[in-house]
Amino acid sequence: MPPKLIIHGGAGKRPSVKKQREIQKALEEVLKGAYPVLLEKGALEVVVCAVVMLEDNPLFNAGTGSRLQSDGRARLTASLMEGHRQRFSAVVNIERVKNPIRVARLLQGERFTVLAGREATAFARAKGFRPYNPITKESLAEWKKRCGGIGPGPAGFRAGTVGAVAIDSKGDIASATSTGGVGCETPGRVSDVASPCGTYANGLVGVSCSGRGEDIVNAALAVRVATRVTDGMGLKEAMKLALRELGAIGGKAGMIALDREGQAMCLCNTEFMSYAVK
């Protein structure tokens, strides 16, 4: 089984051609930088590594440069699932942490694997994660424009959540996703990324989603695809059917997925979704 890594930079409205090129270049660089980790350390570590690199790039809506909630605060959510042990971990609405996915990685080894809010931040501090301000000049300006700086703003969405799915030479599969949310949302709103609806992996398939979190949760999107593949449906067919069903309830999203045969795929019912695969 040749190892494989697929990453995404979010589903949403189609950006300008210039922006698309910028996004694609960034994704290719992450792929190039992260791929050796897949060979050396396996699927779990490479999805973390790829998502860290994407969180560090303010082009994407995750980590540095994340969108802000309606009160002007960045609350970040990241999740990770290890397919072999079928273990999901996540931090939800964590604040002032540079790489939320690293905290989710740490939670893989804990008894309680999903932490939210102030307690998630306190856990990260106790584990040595230094305070870090992920708000950039651009994300602040965007918040001022979209939310007017007061109260809840429009519930739009854009490309920019990031994710990765990998299979290593042992056949182990892992998935990871990280997001700043939709922007201008009610403070404390919980993203799909906080649950297996947005990030899922088992021994046969891994999925990472992007799009309107509420839609992804309503469709249980990642789990829906994984269950169908586990029950014998082909990956592409399972993804297409899940998106059709999502569309039937008015949902908009996209996903990357990879199966045990090494098929890697990206599908969406949004205008655009960026991805790269190696």
Binding residues for ligand GLY (CB under 6 A): 161, 179, 181-182, 191-193, 210-213, 216
Catalytic residue among 77, 113, 161, 177: 161
**What is the rounded distance in angstroms from the CA atom of residue 180 to the CA atom of residue 160?**
9
Q: Between residues 15 and 211, which has the closer beta carbon with respect to ligand GLY?
A: 211
**Alpha helix ranges (H) inside 63-192:** 100-107, 117-126, 137-147
Q: Between residues 38 and 194, which has the closer beta carbon with respect to ligand GLY?
A: 194
**Shortest distance in whole angstroms from residue 10 CB to ligand GLY:** 8
What sign results for the dihedral spanned by CA atoms 140, 21, 214, 260?
negative
User: Catalytic site residue 161?
Assistant: yes
**Shortest distance in whole angstroms from residue 41 CB to ligand GLY:** 27
End-to-end distance of the chain based on CA atoms, in angstroms? 13
- SS3 at position 141: helix
The number of beta carbons lying within 10 Å of the beta carbon of residue 2 is 7
Q: Between residues 134 and 211, which has the closer beta carbon with respect to ligand GLY?
A: 211
**Shortest distance in whole angstroms from residue 189 CB to ligand GLY:** 8
The number of beta carbons lying within 10 Å of the beta carbon of residue 110 is 12
How long is the chain? 278
Q: Is 167 left (phi over 0), alpha (psi -120 to 50) or beta?
A: beta
**Shortest distance in whole angstroms from residue 129 CB to ligand GLY:** 21
Q: Between residues 191 and 274, which has the closer beta carbon with respect to ligand GLY?
A: 191
List the strands of the sheet with 253-259, edge to edge.
Answer: 199-201, 205-211, 253-259, 264-268
Q: 163 near 209, Cβ under 8 Å?
A: yes
**Shortest distance in whole angstroms from residue 179 CB to ligand GLY:** 4
Q: Between residues 38 and 74, which has the closer beta carbon with respect to ligand GLY?
A: 74
Q: Between residues 42 and 213, which has the closer beta carbon with respect to ligand GLY?
A: 213
Strands (E), 48-179: 76-82, 87-94, 114-116, 162-167, 173-179
Hey, what are 17's tokens? 């051609």
Radius of gyration of the chain (CA): 17
Catalytic residues: 161
